[in-house]
Amino acid sequence: MAWAGSRIRPRRLRTTPALRALVRETRLDPAQLILPVFVAEDLGDDGEPRPITSMPGVVQHSMNSLVREARAVADAGLGGIMLFGVPVAKDAVGSGATDSDGVLNRALAAVRAEVGDATSVMADLCLDEFTDHGHCGVLSTDPSGRTVVDNDATLERYADMAVAQARAGAHVVGPSGMMDGQIGVIRDALDAAGHADVVVLAYSAKYASGFYGPFREAVASTLTGDRNTYQQDSGNLRESLREVALDVEQGADIVMVKPALPYLDVVRAVSESVDVPVCAYQVSGEYAQIEAAAANGWIDRDRVVLETLTSIRRAGASSILTYYALYAAQLLRA
């Protein structure tokens, strides 16, 4: 006996791959993906890439292997490549971050010379990889005698860092330190130095998360303590919307939510509250979880990679930083 409502059958639109593709509401494209990469100064120009044990398949690059990876990014049609530097020497103020001969600025120049405008060359704009204490800014002592990250002293370093990265060839700078006022200071510094076309991708809602663990290995972090006094509390949404609004007001061209999967509600709320593009970062711990489960045969890696990235897009992100960017592009082509 036929079901009484048989005229309405949503399953009709799922019967073939072509029909499913025809009505798909959220699409994933390589141009929406950005590959984060690490370049280690101690590997020199010609060293072999060094595997990151907590992130299987991800490496620290030498200068030349980084350039080859950038070419692969451009050839795959990815939206961008985000560079993180791993210097040999670190100090209290992160001097290497503004040194034109420092590992990150040299890498930016080399990558830009290789790919030109074929993909977006992006730079992480933060001091944590360059400071001996591992914090995202300059330290000082408050009136009670506590050691704290000095917000305004850090802004001066960020302004200089932004200009150095722009001079090196960055299309996009990504301030990730969560200092108050950082976007306005960076925008003003770039404009004053003649870099009005350099894009500011603001890490506007960056949470103090347990999902960053493998990244600490990737950048050889020397962090002591935690970053709870300047990164977002994981229980807060309205506060993140305020941070995002302030960054847009100060001139952010793109805003970011980080991490991605544990904060899809934040991605959705941010995307509904602003009229600039929204990015999300599928961070190291998210990647490591997928890799560990796939290695144990518990999940189908390919399906989960595309499913998670699609979920981030569906939540409202127009672009995604992900260590799977090149891999996902291969899956999409296939």
- 49 vs 244: CA distance, rounded Å: 36
Query: What's the maximum distance between 2 C-alpha atoms anywhere in the chain?
Result: 81
What the block records as the tokens of 266 is 């934040």
* Strands annotated E in the chain: 33-40, 50-51, 59-61, 80-86, 120-125, 139-141, 147-149, 172-175, 199-206, 254-258, 278-282, 319-322
State which H helix or E strand residue 72 sits in: helix 63-75
90 assigned to active site: no
Map tokens 């996902």 to a residue: 328
117: closest CA among 197, 28, 29, 36? 197
Q: Which two tokens stand for residue 325?
A: 């960017």
Of these residues, 61, 171, 206, 313, which one is catalytic?
A: 206
Q: Pairing state of beta strands 172-175 and 199-206?
A: parallel
Q: How far is CA 21 from CA 27, 122, 158, 262, in A?
A: 9, 32, 45, 27
Helix H or strand E encompassing 15: none
Bridge partners (DSSP) of residue 85 are 39
CA gyration radius for the chain? 21
205 sits in the region (left: phi over 0; alpha: psi -120 to 50; else beta) called beta
Q: Which of 61, 171, 258, 313 is catalytic?
A: 258
| Contacts with 190 (C-beta within 8 Å, 6 or more apart), sequence order | 162, 163, 166, 173, 196, 198, 200
The residues pairing with 319 across neighbouring beta strands, listed in sequence order, are 279
What are the strands, taking DSSP E only, across 211-285?
254-258, 278-282
Report the catalytic residues.
206, 258
